[in-house]
Amino acid sequence: MTTSPNRSPETIAAQAGGAIDAATGAIVPPIHITTTYERDADLGYARGYVYGRPHNATIHQTEAVITELEAGRETLLFAAGMAAATTAFLALEPPAHVIAPNVMYWSLRHWLRTAAPRHGIEATFVDTRDLDQIRVAIRPGATRLVWLECPANPLWHITDIAAAVRIAHDAGALVGVDSTCASPVLTRPIALGADVVMHSATKYLNGHSDVLAGSLTFADRAPAQALAERAAAHRAGLGSILGPFEAALLLRGLRTLFVRVARQSASALAIAGTITRNPAVAEVLYPGLPGHPGHDIAARQMQRGFGGMLSIRCAGGEAAAIATAARLAVWKRATSLGGVESLVEHRASIEGGNSPCPADLLRLSVGLEDPADLIADLEQALR
């Protein structure tokens, strides 16, 4: 499915794809909780639904909306972002060499380092901002996938997706993009040539911190479709599909995605511009700042803003960072991101050993509060 030429992405999201319940005319889509479906008289399934593990109408409707927002061919929903991300790798033809960023979602990086080799997957980690590092790392005939994350959590590195795609495709490799922190509001990696887009839908797509979910959206290209078929088989075989109640909550969140991300991006830019002048802050990491090394690329491939995520490095080191977080009142100390509430986290203590995250760094997820309140709270904590 591709985006309708007559409807903007904002309209698609706000109207949940525009579907009206045929039985009642309901504007809010119903929740289908059945796990099994009646066979036809000839024992077939003419309506296309067989069993709840691969088939559910609520899940399919939510997948259809995400597919349109990403301008893809199809989407698969999973019970968590990690289930989606790991399936993208497990669906590769073994043995598989993959390339991944040095800075990326920590849990997936840990899985690639520790568990993936048991599945015949070997990962090489590079700085994907440096396209030459991608070129050097590619093994012709063996590299199956180049995985990108943009912006990359929690240092907010920016990779030129279109340029990386050209390098990977020339070598016969697929490209996957973790676009969780951009969301389809800001970046549509398939339009830049990517083969599969992954979201931890727990974050911006849901936006209310009440759903664990993940998604994979595949491009309308033969290699991507082959990967999609294998991923769907993995999901059905492992039972990692999202539940219908969670899918309904995710669909509800998608309906406000564009207004939320616009507000969060505007607030994050205001906060970054203000806090960068604070003497207690050694550095602000935010791609919306002109001084950010990836700013020009971000301005080109992030269409509606620079996102709601930023990090600050405290001038007083790790102790100052932890003390600053402890003094915050409006910002809440918690893991996760992309919700309506603003969160702060000392990432180095969460990620532990082998983390590329500096010990003086605080990761900030900007919510929907008054940005003046968020700035004031940061400034009092930094004092």
Distance CA 84, CA 92 (A): 13
In the numeric block, which tokens belong to residue 191?
A: 């339009």
Structural domains in the chain (count): 2
- For residue 4, tell me if it sits in a domain: no
Choose, from 7, 53, 221, 230, the residue flagged as catalytic: 53
Burial (CB < 10 A; 0-12, 13-18, 19+), residue 194, is: buried
Checking if the pLDDT of 5 tops 60, the result is no
Q: Output b/e per residue, 39-60; b: 16+ Cβ within 10 A.
A: eeeeeeeeeebeebebbbbbbe
Choose, from 160, 178, 360, 377, the residue flagged as catalytic: 178
pLDDT in tens, 14-59: 999 988 888 889 999 899 999 999 898 998 888 888 888 988 999 9
Same domain for 241 and 319? no
Whether 203 is catalytic is yes
Checking if the pLDDT of 4 tops 60, the result is no
Same domain for 39 and 146? yes
Burial (CB < 10 A; 0-12, 13-18, 19+), residue 311, is: buried
In this prediction the pTM is 0.95
Whether 178 is catalytic is yes
Whether 332 is catalytic is no
Name all contacts of 107-113 with Cβ < 8 Å and 24+ positions apart: 107/82, 108/82, 108/178, 111/82, 111/85, 111/86, 113/354
Same domain for 108 and 234? yes
pLDDT in tens, 84-104: 999 999 999 999 999 999 999
Structural domain ending residue among the three candidates 197, 226, 254: 254
Same domain for 310 and 186? no
User: How many angstroms separate the Cα of 341 from the Cα of each of 144, 307, 335, 365?
Assistant: 39, 15, 12, 8
Same domain for 96 and 159? yes
Same domain for 226 and 338? no
